[in-house]
Amino acid sequence: MTAGRFEIDPDIRVAATLPARVYSDPDAFTLQRERIFARTWQYAGHDDLVSVAGQVCPFTLLPGALDEPLVLTRDGDDRLHCLSNVCTHRGTLVVEGAGHLQQLRCCYHGRRFTLDGQFHSMPEFEGTAGFPSKADDLPPVSLAQLERFLMVALAPAMPFDDVAGPLRARLAGLPFADLVYDGAAAREFLIEATWALYIDNYLEGFHIPYVHSSLATTLDYGAYAVELERYAVLQLGIAKPGERAFALPKGHRDANRSVAAYYFWLFPTTMFNVYPWGVSVNVVTPLAVDRTRVSFLPFVWDEGARGEGAGSGLDRVEREDEAIVEAVQRGVRSRLYDRGRYSPTREGGVHHFHRLLAEFMHG
Ligand code: FES
Ligand SMILES: [Fe+2]
């Protein structure tokens, strides 16, 4: 398989961008399933989904890429769990819908599990030797929390704190406890392009003056800043004079600049866009090599600030991004295009992402 072999020079000044086949080759996508998505932290939801003891919430992790049936539970001791939702008997799904339960009971032959995933009971198994054993429990899945947001990983290559540490530090003090999920304003976009092109586009503000004329009127292009972390990229949108910005307390490291938006990307598929009104979580779901779903999930702490500045008009910005990313997908299939070069001043985030792709796809 050649899809996995490519180099991205660590020096952005001499580096070439990702080979075009990585964006369009089904083999590359197959490789990414196990080498990237199964080994990294993915967004699973917010804590209201399982806010009281006994609440359960089944979901499929990355449908189309991982298709892993999982279930979130909160047990009687108020502890959160993420478990495999596949019965350890003959493999049917255990929990069919969200609700409140005392135990998890498989509907096929009645095997029961406690809410922390331990085997509880099973009819007609008296004669089975060495039963039950550890293997009859529902396998636990790594679960981590970032403020109100739940992240899970099947076989994480890194502890979650290595991914989210910089975000936690930067946003400490913001009123996450006040966040209210606005489901009515949530949006899903289906994009005819590979997930990595959507990430590329997200990781640079270079295109803002060309693609987003409305956003360009609120942000100071010259002051736009990018910071690279081991498994994350932070972009800071700086407000033009008079435009809406955070009122940060004295002593905050960004107190001397007019931050309109923090755009945090966590490798590989999660974005936390933090605005004066709250947080827009963008979840990128790779459905196929050339099909991606992007979910915009708004969590609000200040409704009054919602119509202003870089955090307003997000639907329009998304449509503009979608159109450009779909055009790139058509372009990278060309026989006449392979790789480009990076702008050292504007494309540090894209280069960093490509380095991570190379690192993980090489295994
Ligand atoms: S598959 Fe669950 S009890 Fe048989
Ligand atoms: Fe954009």
Which is the closest atom of ligand 1 to the Cα of 91?
Answer: 1
User: What's the rounded Cα separation, in Å, for the pair 44 and 342?
Assistant: 33
Q: At what angle do helices 314-332 and 195-202 cross, to 10 degrees?
A: 120
Is the same domain home to 349 and 221? yes
Asked if the model's pLDDT at residue 16 lies above 50, the reply is yes
337 C-alpha vs ligand 2 centroid, how far in Å?
A: 23
Is the same domain home to 234 and 348? yes
Tens of pLDDT, residues 165-179: 999 989 988 999 999
Is the same domain home to 242 and 108? no
Instruction: Among the bound ligands, name the one nearest to the CA of residue 324.
Output: 2
Asked if the model's pLDDT at residue 294 lies above 80, the reply is yes
User: What's the rounded Cα separation, in Å, for the pair 236 and 219?
Assistant: 10
Give pLDDT, residue 173: 87
The binding-site residues of ligand 1, defined as CB within 6 angstroms of any ligand atom, are 87, 89-90, 92, 106, 108-111
Decide if 246 is inside a domain: yes
Tens of pLDDT, residues 58-102: 999 999 999 999 999 999 999 999 999 999 999 999 999 999 999
118 C-alpha vs ligand 1 centroid, how far in Å?
A: 14
Give pLDDT, residue 330: 97
Is the same domain home to 186 and 59? no
Q: How many CB atoms lie within 10 A of CB 68?
A: 19
Is the same domain home to 127 and 169? no
Decide if 288 is inside a domain: yes
Number of domains in the chain: 2
Asked if the model's pLDDT at residue 126 lies above 50, the reply is yes
Is the same domain home to 184 and 313? yes
Is the same domain home to 83 and 177? no
Which is the closest atom of ligand 1 to the Cα of 90?
Answer: 1
Instruction: Among the bound ligands, name the one nearest to the CA of residue 106.
Output: 1
Give pLDDT, residue 3: 55
| Domain CATH code at residue 47 | 2.102.10.10
Is the same domain home to 57 and 114? yes
Asked if the model's pLDDT at residue 4 lies above 70, the reply is no
Give pLDDT, residue 1: 46
* Boundary residue ending a domain (106, 127, 153): 153
Instruction: Identify the band that residue 5 occupies on the pLDDT scale cut at 50, 70 and 90.
Output: confident
Asked if the model's pLDDT at residue 273 lies above 90, the reply is yes
Instruction: Identify the band that residue 2 occupies on the pLDDT scale cut at 50, 70 and 90.
Output: low
Tens of pLDDT, residues 198-230: 999 999 999 999 999 999 999 999 999 999 999
Decide if 8 is inside a domain: no
User: What's the rounded Cα separation, in Å, for the pair 292 and 35?
Assistant: 18
User: What's the rounded Cα separation, in Å, for the pair 91 and 74?
Assistant: 23
CB 42 within 8 A of CB 144: no
Decide if 61 is inside a domain: yes
Please report, rounded to a whole number, the percentage of residues in the chain having pLDDT higher than 70: 99
Decide if 10 is inside a domain: no
Tens of pLDDT, residues 95-108: 999 999 999 999 99
- Best of 87, 88, 107 to mutate for ligand 1, by most ligand atoms within 8 A of CB? 87
Residues 6+ apart with CB under 8 A from 260: 218, 219, 237, 238, 239, 243, 244, 245, 246, 275, 276, 309, 310, 311
Decide if 226 is inside a domain: yes
Is the same domain home to 78 and 172? no
Give pLDDT, residue 66: 97
322 C-alpha vs ligand 2 centroid, how far in Å?
A: 8
Is the same domain home to 238 and 138? no
Which is the closest atom of ligand 1 to the Cα of 92?
Answer: 1
44 C-alpha vs ligand 1 centroid, how far in Å?
A: 25
Average pLDDT of every residue of the chain? 96
User: What's the rounded Cα separation, in Å, for the pair 174 and 171?
Assistant: 6
- Best of 83, 85, 88, 90 to mutate for ligand 1, by most ligand atoms within 8 A of CB? 90
Decide if 5 is inside a domain: no
Buried (b) or exposed (e) across 236-274, using 16+ Cβ within 10 A? bbbbbeebbbbebeeeeeeeebbbbbbbbbbbbbbbbbb
Tens of pLDDT, residues 33-60: 999 999 999 999 999 999 999 999 999 9
User: What's the rounded Cα separation, in Å, for the pair 283 and 43?
Assistant: 7
Instruction: Identify the band that residue 262 occupies on the pLDDT scale cut at 50, 70 and 90.
Output: very high
Q: Whose CA is nearest to atom 4 of ligand 1?
A: 109
Host domain of residue 213: 165-361
Is the same domain home to 297 and 172? yes
* Boundary residue ending a domain (88, 122, 153): 153
Give pLDDT, residue 311: 86
Is the same domain home to 217 and 281? yes
